[in-house]
Amino acid sequence: DVKVTQSSRYLVKRTGEKVFLECVQDMDHENMFWYRQDPGLGLRLIYFSYDVKMKEKGDIPEGYSVSREKKERFSLILESASTNQTSMYLCASSSTGTPQYFGPGTRLTVL
């Protein structure tokens, strides 16, 4: 059974904190993605990675960075969390260039 897992379902952080969101897939997929989902805005791409140590900016990369040291793991980093980064964060993986399988999501609240 296909699995994409995320490190936390719910996370509460304070403004200015460094935040790590982790995503792991067990399908040996080359491609992994980070999206944020906000009501009325759909899913917006933050970053994606097509191979280990490779990354590409998506539509809204400002305030975020990513790390992919191993094929199965893709991390999203908020260097200094701000209240406008309160959102649902979804990770996805794929054997193609578009997301096939999503993780359960992490609802991040920044106070």
Partner 1 sequence: GENVEQHPSTLSVQEGDSAVIKCTYSDSASNYFPWYKQELGKRPQLIIDIRSNVGEKKDQRIAVTLNKTAKHFSLHITETQPEDSAVYFCAARGNEKLTFGTGTRLTIIP
Q: Report yes or no: 65 and 82 within 8 Å, Cβ to Cβ.
A: no
Q: Does 21 engage in binding with partner 1 (CB under 8 A)?
A: no
User: Coil, strand or helix: which one is 84?
Assistant: helix
Interface pick for partner 1 out of 24, 102, 106, 110 (rule CB under 8 A): 102
Q: How far is CA 81 from the centre of its chain?
A: 14
Q: Does 97 engage in binding with partner 1 (CB under 8 A)?
A: yes
Q: Does 40 engage in binding with partner 1 (CB under 8 A)?
A: yes
Q: What angle do CA 54, 59, 65 make, to 5 degrees?
A: 45
Q: Does 90 engage in binding with partner 1 (CB under 8 A)?
A: yes
Binding mask 56-85 for partner 1 (x = CB under 8 A): --xx--------------------------
